[in-house]
Structure formats: structure tokens, C-alpha cells
Amino acid sequence: MKFKNLQKFIEFLEKHKELKKINFPVHPKLEITEIARRTILKKGPALFFQNPIGSEYPLLCNLFGNEKRILFGIGIEKKKSLRKIGKIFSFFRNPTPPKNFRDMVKKFSIYRRIFHTYTKEVKYASCQEIVVGKKKVDLFEFPIMHCWPKDSGKLITWGITTTKSLSNNRQNLGIYRLQVISKNKLLIRWFPQRGGEIDFQEWKKNNKEKFPISIFIGSDPITILSAVMPVPNSLSEYSISGILRGKNSKVVKCVSNDLRVPENSEIVLEGFIEEKSAKEGPNGDHTGFYNKEEYFPIINIEVITRKKYPIYLSTYSGKYPDETSVLSYYMNEILIPIIQKQFPEISDFYLPPEACSYRIALVSIKKKYPGHAKKIMMGIWSFLQQFMYIKIIIVCEDDVNIRDWREVFWSISTCVDPYRDSLFIKYCPSDILDFASFDYGIGSKMGIDATEKLKAESRQTFQSKIFMNKETCVRIEKIWKKLKIFS
């Protein structure tokens, strides 16, 4: 089932007991974070705060805090269907022509999705029912959360920032933390090598005008989720949402700039980036620590457009589990077919959410030759842009369940010689949020080869693993109930 807008999705979730409406007055400063944190720990419902203190607008939190709501949002029933989406993305990342007529018929369902990659522009949109001009802009009218006790201010956390590339005319959607510093000004915390920041630097080199930027808050679930999916660089997130929806994404031109936003957005902030920057932070982050103060660009908001009765979508970032880490766990399933197309020997790939969702990668492979594990490590670090932030890669045999830390530890303890099987690389690009690294944006990488060693890799011969023979297993399976061991 696909949803026309956020409000329709909310109605569906309430009907299926996946949303709780809270009429009790609760403060967006700290209180909503603590309620959401306790709820997500128990895999509880989405939270719809109808009377947040200090605002007339309702606040929606923990929207994608469990598996059911993520799958509902995408319009699929089972987790394994995420792999099918990954196969579609891998095709668009590196499309191949059909081998013959039979192959063309087989892949027709994928080829026809190309028609849904284009946006459909509308003249009138619900997100522009109310237009607030420059003199009346006031961000404080919304129930913006102050998430943690030592945070430096209020943070817009589920705003999807829209920018445009000069070189390929492609619109980029990204989620960046936005700190409110006045009624009409925000600080945008974006990092090098990310889409929006790349667009901004390109603009500064080639254009003297102000860099336009728009931020939409709340939309249909597929559009929201497309902004966090591993999207091929050749496609816009609008294209991805069209592919998943089976219909072209409907967008509308912003009132004050040339950018397009979803016509069903709840709230849209339109503005430009000033030449000045200001200190952002400290604020609580997904690492479980407060980040340090740093200078980031200032956004000047000139126009706010919204629905007549908008819903403010929000979340918080913190130590696992939080909504971001839950989403990352399921987006990992989409990544796997994309990686396997490049490295067919990979059986499984896992970014544990407990490890900040990207700092440690666990890989299982069908090992074929000496040094194979190290080749995979180097390939992964350079495969996708976001993989440059992986600090540690552990490679195991394909019969090791890398989703189970007990098996990973067993594999390390039995197959690893610390000196021979550890790979270290110094002075690599590093996550600027990683204060454990050597310097700002510069750190090291570590690879651990936990595979069984071939002759060329070890002077000793690896012995066979212990397995029960098939005949005994079949025999015990037949008599198991008769033994009544657990009855």
C-alpha cells in the first residue's frame, strides 16, 4: 500500500495500533526525547503529541522506530523484499542491456520503472496553502525539540534539505542537522563529500549569487525514506521515490527560489546560505557523545510555506538504539545486492547499528585465493562514498553468521593471528565526528582477516570444522519429540 501523504500514513498506523496519540501536554525540551527513547527501547509505537507545550502544531516522533512501520512506509510486507529493492538500485547504478528477448521480458518490470524516475510538476500544492513572508517568519512557532541537557539549542532533525547541482542539474535531498539560532536563521551541519556540501562548494566557485536552499519537513513515507536510502549517484532521491512508488514524484516550485519540493510536504522552509558562518554545537549525536563546537554555514529563511494544519515531524539522535540506527539496520538490506553485484563472492554484509551504523563492517565471503579477504577490504573502503568512514572491517568465511557477535568472536579467536591477519592503513579520510581519530577528518583503518588460511598464507594446515553427519541429524530429528527432553 502506498500513501498519498504523511497524514494518510498516520491514519493507517493508528488503525493498525502502530501509533499512539498523546493529548497530555509535554515539553519539546528534553521531555519528548526521554519519552521517545523509552518507547523505542521497547519497540513501541510512533508518538503523536497533540499538545506540545509552546506550539499550536502537533509533533510526530519515532515514526520509523520499528520494522513494521519501515516496511509499511515503503509498501512491502517482508524484510526480504528490501533485497529486491537493492537489486533494482544496483541495476540503475550500473545498467546492463538485455542479453536476449527472454532476458528483456524477465527484466521488463525493472526497465519500465525508468518512466517513474522523472518528476511531475504541479502548479498548486497543499504545502503552499499558507505562505509566510520574510517579515513574519518565526521558526519558534514550531515545536522544535531541544533533545539533550547540554545541547546548545533547538534542532530540526527530520528536515530534508534540497539543493541543486550546477554541473548536472540534479536535485539532491539530504538530512542534515539544523540548529535554530534565531527566528529566521539556522546553522546547517553538513560534511565534506556529502551531496549538499558538494553542491554548495560548486556554486561558490561558479556563481556570485546567493546559494538557494529549501528544507521540507514531513511528506509521504516513501519520499522521506528515499532520503536515507543508499541512492546511486546518477539518480535523484525524487527518482528513487518514483521507482518505489510506481508513480512519478509530484513536486512544486518553491515560492522564493527555483528549487522543487514535494507537493505534499507539511512545512517548507525556503532561504539561502549566507557568506558568514557561526559556531554549531555542542549537541548530542548518534555516537552517544556530544560533538564539539565547529563553524558551519548560516541559512537565512525568507519564506515559510505550509499546509493549513501541518504536522511537525521530529526525532532525536543518541546512542543506539535510536530511530536513525533502526533505519540504518534495514537500509543495510538494500545495500547488500548493490555490493554483491560488484563483489559476487560476498555472502553477507553487515553494518552493526551498535557501532554507530557505519564505523564497523562485518563481511562473509566465499574465499577463493590467498589474500582474498584483504582484497575485499580495500574494495569496500573505496566502493561507495559513505564507506570511507568505515574504521574497521572484519572478514569471515561464508558459513559464519556475521549477524551474531558470538560467531564473529569465535571466528576471530580461531582463525586470526594478530600480526599476520591485521591490516593497518594510516592517514585516511575519517568521520569528522570521530574524536578518537588521529586528527580532524584524518584517521586510520583496520582490517581483520578472520577467514581460514590457505597454504600460501600460513605454515600450519587448518583442520576441518566440526559438523555432525547428515544421517545422524535425520535420525535424531525423527526421534526428538519422543525423547521429551524439554517437556
Catalytic residues: 285
Compute how many other C-beta atoms are within 10 angstroms of the C-beta atom of residue 207: 10
- Say whether 381 sits in a helix, a strand or coil: helix
Residue 401: φ, ψ to 5°: -80, 100
Rounded CA gap, 60 and 86, in Å?
29
Rounded CA gap, 160 and 105, in Å?
37
Rounded CA gap, 336 and 327, in Å?
15
Query: Quick one: cell of 171?
Result: 536535485
Report yes or no: 261 and 132 within 8 Å, Cβ to Cβ: no
- Residue among 313, 310, 312, 314 nearest 127 (CA): 310
Rounded CA gap, 310 and 312, in Å?
6
Cα-to-chain-centroid distance, residue 376: 23
Query: Quick one: cell of 236?
Result: 535523484
Rounded CA gap, 172 and 156, in Å?
18
Q: Which helix (H) or strand (E) holds 211?
A: strand 211-217
Residue 102: φ, ψ to 5°: -60, -40
Query: Quick one: cell of 460?
Result: 600450519
- Say whether 143 sits in a helix, a strand or coil: coil
Rounded CA gap, 390 and 78, in Å?
28
- Say whether 251 sits in a helix, a strand or coil: strand
Q: Which helix (H) or strand (E) holds 424?
A: strand 422-429
Report yes or no: 47 and 20 within 8 Å, Cβ to Cβ: yes
